[in-house]
Amino acid sequence: MSEHEARGRMGWTIGGAAIVAIALAAVRCGPSEVAMEAPTPAPVAREAVAPTPVVRRLRSPRRERAEVPARQASEAGCDDFEALSIAAIEGLLEPEALGCLEGYRLAEDLEAAAFASDLLMVQAWAAGDMDAWRALAVDHVSAIEPEDATLILKLALDASRNEDDAVALASAEDGLAAAEYLDELDRDQHVDTLHRIRLQAMTRQDYPADEIHAAAEEWYAHNTEAERDTTTAERVCTAYGEPCGPTPEAE
């Protein structure tokens, strides 16, 4: 690695990372409660249904990744990552810098891609371009950092508030699959919120009663173990078949 590349990487990983971490604390804010009224359809008979394993649902089209030579970054004015971080926080990245960071975002080096993607998300958020932020966020958790459970939760909350139920459901299921990567102190609250979002999206989309009941059972089981409120999950279970928890025969 040349001296120029070494200096660039050091600026990237130390100076820029510290600044972007501060910005991401605002962009990836913690979850707030998602209001959900318990549905009240006529009770339906149901067979016991095993919960469906959570699979990754979010996907985004991507261009092929390509090598981004350090010389190209320097020529485009994209090697001063600390300065770029400050500009991104203010939503003031220049077009040349945006194009250069986009190149890094599509690079083979996933560490560089993740950092560039973070900067572009900070820029989009600060500039109020939520469509760009959503596209970048979906791509980030689809192809760069699928274990970024906090960003997945942010996507799920955003989609739920905008009643984009397909994305809300996909994000919630991905978030539940990635929950092991959440900070232990926040995990129970985040998982509770993800279950709420998933169940709300399923009821809005008129999913089959047995699938809604199975999702409510999973939420109930999690909150019971975590000693969190189970009221809404219990109401949904009852509305879509039978009470949550083990049947009398199983006790």
Question: Which distant-in-sequence residues (6+ apart) come within 8 Å of 131 by Cβ?
Answer: none
pLDDT at 55: 36
44 belongs to a structural domain: no
Q: 137 in a domain, yes or no?
A: yes
Same domain, 159 and 138: no
The 10s digit of each residue's pLDDT in 156-202 is 999 999 999 999 999 999 999 888 887 777 899 999 999 999 999 99
More confident position, 57 or 162: 162
DSSP string covering 105-138: HTSS-HHHHHHHHHHHHHHHHHTT-HHHHHHHHH
Where does a domain end: 121, 145, 169?
A: 145
* pLDDT tens-place string over residues 130-149: 999 999 999 999 889 988 88
Q: Would 43 be classed as within a structural domain?
A: no
Half-sphere exposure of 92 (CA within 13 A, CB side): 6
Domain total for the chain?
2
Residues 172 and 123 in one domain: no
Asked if residue 219 and residue 250 are part of one domain, the reply reads: yes
**Are residues 135 and 156 both part of a single domain?**
no
Both 134 and 27 in one domain: the answer is yes
User: Residue 218 belongs to what H/E stretch?
Assistant: helix 209-226
- My answer on whether 74 and 163 are in the same domain is no
Residues 194, 118 within the same domain? no
Considering the domain architecture, whether residues 63 and 82 belong to the same structural domain is answered as: yes
Contact by Cβ (8 Å): 121, 138: no
Higher pLDDT, 33 or 43: 33
pLDDT at 119: 93
- Of the two residues 24 and 112, the one the predictor is more confident about is 112
Buried b (16+ CB within 10 A) or exposed e, 129-147: eeeebbbbbbbbbbbbbbe
Q: Is 180 part of a structural domain of the chain?
A: yes
Domain span at residue 250 reads 147-251
Is 50 exceeded by the pLDDT of residue 60?
no
Q: What is the CA radius of gyration of the chain?
A: 21
User: Mean per-residue pLDDT for 55-73?
Assistant: 45
* pLDDT of 211 strictly over 50: yes
Q: Is the dihedral of CA 162, 139, 14, 124 positive or negative?
A: negative
Show which of 95, 127, 145 is a domain's final residue: 145
125, 145, 165 - which closes a domain: 145
DSSP characters over 46-110: ----PPPPP--------PPP----HHHHHHTT---HHHHHHHHHTT---HHHHHHHHHHHTSS-H
Tokens of 168: 């809300």
Residue 232 in any domain: the answer is yes
| pLDDT surpasses 80 at 22 | no
Is pLDDT at 12 greater than 90 in this prediction?
Answer: no
Asked, for residue 48, whether it belongs to a domain, the answer is no
* 133 and 248 assigned to the same domain: no
Asked if the model's pLDDT at residue 61 lies above 90, the reply is no
Same domain for 162 and 121: no
Query: Residues 128, 177: one domain?
Result: no
Least confident of 12-26, 99-113, 136-150: 12-26
- In degrees and rounded to multiples of 5, residue 199 shows phi and psi of -70, -40
- Name which of 57, 144, 153 is nearest 109 in CA terms: 144
